[in-house]
Every structure is written in C-alpha cells, then in structure tokens.
Chains A and B, each alone.
Chain A
Amino acid sequence: QVQLVESGGGVVQPGGSLRLSCAASGFTFSSYGMHWVRQAPGKGLEWVAFIRYDGSNKYYADSVKGRFTISRDNSKNTLYLQMNSLRAEDTAVYYCAKEKQLGTFDYWGQGTLVTVSS
C-alpha cells in the first residue's frame, strides 16, 4: 500500500534552515508528481510546492518562493523540501502528498512539525 513518511522537522531559529524528507513506498514514485502542503497550528491548509514526476518543473507558493526548494531523488524514492531563511510564520505541520492527477492529492503523509522560534 502507498506510504509516505516525512522526517526532518524540529525547532529552528528565525533565519535558520531545515531540510524535510518524504520517503515513499507502495507505488512507482518516479511516475507521479509530488507536493508539499502545510498547516499552521489551528489553521487551514496551504499548498507550498510541486515537483513534476521527473523533476523538470517546480512551482512554489508566493509565500515561500526564493526561500524554499523542492527536489526529488527517484533512485531513492524520496522527496525533499529545503527551507532557508525561515520565519515564524513558516511554523506548521508539513505534509508531503502524492498526485492522483494534476493538482489532486490522493495520498498524504502523517506530517512533520516545523517550529520557527527563538
């Protein structure tokens, strides 16, 4: 069955960096686009970034553009999110999600919490 397992969350100071990973299994990872979606504590869902199945296209929310980088290693079935210049408003649970079709998420990980605080 499809499994997505995020890791790499934690507490980081403002201006710091963190790299999230999402280990995928149970499907042909290299055939599907992947996304990161976040949820601030007690708030709604916010799409963060997308990467095409082969890594050739990447899109970002305006709120993270220029600071976050999405990437993937299809040989390791792993998705990444490099987060730099972190701000307090980046505090959230970060989910990786698999695409069912363009723009539609059919499987989600359990999430990893990122807290930006001094």
Chain B
Amino acid sequence: DIQMTQSPSSLSASVGDRVTITCQASQDISNYLNWYQQKPGKAPKLLIYDASNLETGVPSRFSGSGSGTDFTFTISSLQPEDIATYYCQQYDNLLSLTFGGGTKVEIK
C-alpha cells in the first residue's frame, strides 16, 4: 500500500494567517492526490482534486500544489469557519486508496 504521511498532525494559527500542510507519499503518485476538509461531526468535503484543482464552490483561499511524492495544501488567510481536520488522499493505486493521518487546524 502507498503510505501518506501528513504534517503537522495539528496546528494553531490566528485568523488571517497563512496555513500550510504537507503530505508525503511513500512512492511517486504523480498528481493523483486529493484534499478533504472534515468539520466535527460532519462528513468530509472535497476541496482540492488532482493535487491543485479547486472543487466547484470552494473558496479561493484554499489551494494545493505538488507532484510525485511531495504535496502542499495552503489556506492563504485562515478564517474561523476553516476550523476542521484536513486529510490528503492518494488515488494512484485504485485497488487500495489511502488517506493521510489528518491535520487538525485550530484558532489561536
């Protein structure tokens, strides 16, 4: 299986701060990477697909980049409603889809 390593596992930032989360794959996955947001008690929501494509209706302060094994997810200006856990997910191996461990984002 392809292992996805996310960091940090949690972070605390102020409203308006730039927030960056990284995700590293255990092997080359090209751009077959998605990012999801999950708020407490809710289902995950797709934010970014194909590493850098913004899902329809998602605010432009969210962005993604990277290819191969190293990926980055950025919130350009953290808002109170962005408090959530964020997950990366690879789909290079369609027989075994895997998620990163998650990054919990809190407001300082």
| Residues of A that sit less than 8 Å from B by CB | 35, 37, 44-47, 50, 59, 61-62, 95, 100-106, 108-111
Contact = CB atoms under 8 A, between A and B. Distances in A.
Interface in B30-83: 32, 34, 36, 38, 43-46, 49, 55
A62 to B, nearest CB: 7
> Interface of chain A, helix or strand or loop or mixed?
strand
Nearest to B99: A45
A46 B32 CA distance: 17
Contacts of A102: 91, 94
Contacts of B96: 47, 59, 61-62
Contact of B43 (A59, A100, A111): A111
Contacts of B34: 103-105
Contacts of B89: 45
> Interface of chain B, helix or strand or loop or mixed?
loop
B2 to A, nearest CB: 11
A95 B49 CA distance: 19
Interface string B1-17: 10000000000000000
